[in-house]
Amino acid sequence: MRTIHERLELDLKLGGYSPHTCRIYLLYARLFAKYFKRSPEEMGADEIREYLLYVIERRRASRSTVRQIRAALSFLYAITLQRPVEVEHIPVMRRQRRLPQVLSGTEVEALFHAVASPKYRAILMAQYGGGLRIGEACRLQVEGIDSKRMLIRVRAGKGGKDRYTILSARLLHELRAYWAISRPHPWLFPGNTKEGHASPDSVRVVFRQVLGASGINKKVTPHVLRHCFATHLLESGKDISFVKVVLGHGSLRATEVYAHVSIDHISRTVSPLDLLGTPSAAVLG
């Protein structure tokens, strides 16, 4: 007879959830049971509501964390315990749409110069050069680098989706120099994870170290490089639909936030009022 933990883990695997999501859902299920010191089978909607209020009011959890906890408990009760009624009427906390923090091109350049390790410099450059999430960069495979078509194949991105994105010529040069040193295979960036690729946590450690060394005082994580990729592409004039595709977003709405971040692009745009009475006014008809 399997335990609830084992059944939940099996259901998550059968559902095709990523290893990261499996770990997160299993963690929140354990913390839920630990809080009440009871089995989830003995609890229901009232305890779920009480626990969510606890993490909101006492733990001061972020909105995204609360949404993750609710999703984990919803899966636990609706799928594993086959009691969907327990979560049917529990509200989903609304997303708080904040503008993402971005770095300037000068700051990104300084960041790369501060990374001594060819491996970690290449990982961070892949994030910025192709708009990759940290996990996507760590899980890149050697065969995913298509130097003939200048594409990067991203396998099992968010939602388990594959996609293609840009392969920067500068990144390719960096990867070739890195390849000459280490000859990795099949993972482009080997590491100590169970799967054998580089750990996102190790990248975060390196990122924090070089952030201060590069003179950047902003409170950012490696994910800022993906934000920079999208924002800088839009500022260079790329169509938002193209940016949506290379980021792997499911809807244009998720990409539109970057249009609001392109403050520099907006500030460089000449108002039609300033064109009146000039030769350029002809374009106004």
**Mean pLDDT over each residue of the chain, to the nearest integer:** 89
Residue pair 56/70 in contact (Cβ under 8 Å)? The answer is no
Answer with the one of 52, 86, 120 that is the final residue of a domain.
86
Q: Do 155 and 199 meet the contact criterion of CB atoms below 8 Å apart?
A: no
Q: Which of 153, 155, 249, 265 is catalytic?
A: 249
Do 160 and 241 reside in the same domain of the chain? yes
Asked if 81 and 213 sit in the same domain, the reply is no
The pLDDT, as a whole number, for residue 116 is 95
Does residue 173 sit within a domain? Answer: yes
* Range from 76-80, 93-97, 181-185, 245-249 carrying the lowest mean pLDDT: 93-97
Same-domain status, 263 and 183: yes
274 in a structural domain: no
Give the active site residue among 70, 133, 197, 227.
133
Indicate whether 110 pLDDT > 70. Answer: yes
Q: Is residue 139 part of a domain?
A: yes
**Is residue 274's pLDDT more than 70?**
no
pLDDT tens-digit readout, 65-81: 999 999 999 999 999 99
Classify residue 215: in a domain, yes or no. Answer: yes
Same domain for 162 and 202? yes
Residues 143 and 244 in one domain: yes
With bands split at pLDDT 50, 70 and 90, how would you rate the model's confidence at 264?
low
**Is residue 73 domain-shared with residue 134, that is, in the same domain?**
no
**pLDDT at site 146:** 95
Check if 37 is active-site. no
116, 82: one domain: no
137 within some domain? yes
Q: Does residue 158 carry a catalytic annotation?
A: yes
The whole-angstrom distance between residue 274's C-alpha and the CA centroid of its chain comes to 40
Residue 215 has pLDDT above 60, yes or no: yes
Number of domains within the chain = 2
The 10s digit of each residue's pLDDT in 8-44 is 999 999 998 888 899 999 999 999 999 999 999 999 9
Of all residues in the chain, what percent carry a pLDDT higher than 90?
68
In a domain? residue 285: no
* Annotation marks residue 249 as catalytic: yes
Whether residues 65 and 111 fall in one domain: no
153 is catalytic: no
- 145 and 262 belong to one structural domain: yes
pLDDT in tens, 46-61: 999 999 999 999 999 9
Q: pLDDT tier at 45 (50, 70, 90 boundaries)?
A: very high
Residues 114 and 82 in one domain: no
pLDDT band at 114 (very low <50, low <70, confident <90, very high): very high
What is the domain-level CATH number for residue 130?
A: 1.10.443.10
User: φ, ψ for residue 197 (rounded to 5)?
Assistant: -100, 175
Spatial distance between the Cα atoms of 71 and 25, rounded to a whole number of angstroms: 8
Give the residue numbers spanning the domain of 37: 4-86
Whole-model pTM over 0.85: no
91-103: per-residue pLDDT in tens? 988 876 677 788 9
Half-sphere exposure of 240 (CA within 13 A, CB side): 12
Q: Give me the catalytic one of 158, 164, 204, 265.
A: 158
Domain assignment of residue 252, yes or no = yes
Choice among 70, 139, 197, 226 that is catalytic: 226
168 belongs to a structural domain:
yes
Write down the pLDDT at residue 238.
87
The dihedral of CA 77, 79, 82, 88: what is its sign? positive
Q: What is the mean pLDDT of residues 189-214?
A: 94
pLDDT surpasses 90 at 120: yes
Residues 236 and 125 in one domain: yes
Same-domain status, 19 and 144:
no
